[in-house]
């Protein structure tokens, strides 16, 4: 059983998966920062200085000035601003992975099949003759 586990771990696919998980974990905070620090502020400014992190709906019916105040009061809230940020994070990560997979697939594409031959060799003079020829154009011997 230990030998089978060792063979499983030594396979390239498992190592590739481990590298992908580590790189994905490192890539997540970069995208989170890009969304919350670079993308969302201009969008919020265009929508009238709205901070998406503070967009929420209080289910208790009480009005709260911020999401932090509502959570401190223990009020149930729907924090749809955080949801918008999370959806944008997902779309950016998905698009980046799509581009990466597209490039990897381009590099790993199978070679095109070789073209079908258009000539054959004459058995007498060994010169190339078109496939449909009935006589060699070089030595005039009959082709089979």
Sequence ranges of the domains in the chain: 10-109, 115-144
Tokens 């932090």 locate to 68
pLDDT at 12: 62
pLDDT at 9: 66
Structure tokens at 67: 């999401």
Mapped onto helix, strand or coil, the DSSP state of residue 115 is: coil
pLDDT at 62: 87
Right CATH for 10-109 from 1.10.1200, 3.40.630, 3.30.9, 1.10.3470: 1.10.1200
Closest CA to 20 of 29, 32, 28, 30: 28
Mapped onto helix, strand or coil, the DSSP state of residue 121 is: strand
Structure tokens at 46: 């265009």
Backbone angle region of 66, left / alpha / beta, with phi > 0 → left and psi within -120 to 50 → alpha: beta
Structure tokens at 138: 């070089």
CB within 8 A of 79, min separation 6: which ones? 55, 56, 67
Sign of CA dihedral 102, 104, 106, 112: negative
pLDDT at 115: 86
pLDDT in tens, the chain (144 residues): 888 877 776 766 777 777 788 888 888 888 888 887 888 788 888 878 777 777 888 898 888 888 888 889 999 999 888 888 888 878 887 887 788 878 877 887 777 888 888 899 998 888 999 988 888 888 888 887
């Amino acid at each position: 059983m230990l030998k089978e586990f060792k063979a499983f771990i030594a396979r390239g696919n498992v190592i590739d998966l481990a590298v992908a998980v580590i790189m994905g974990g490192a890539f997540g905070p970069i995208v989170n920062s890009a969304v919350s620090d670079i993308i969302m502020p201009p969008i919020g400014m265009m929508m009238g200085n709205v901070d998406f992190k503070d967009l929420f709906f209080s289910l208790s019916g009480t009005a709260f000035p911020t999401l932090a105040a509502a959570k401190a009061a223990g009020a149930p809230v729907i924090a749809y601003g955080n949801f918008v940020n999370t959806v944008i994070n997902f779309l950016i990560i998905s698009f980046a992975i799509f581009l990466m997979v597209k490039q990897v697939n381009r590099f790993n594409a199978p070679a095109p099949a070789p073209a079908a031959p258009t000539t054959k060799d004459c058995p007498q003079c060994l010169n190339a003759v078109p496939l449909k020829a009935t006589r060699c154009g070089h030595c005039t011997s009959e082709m089979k």
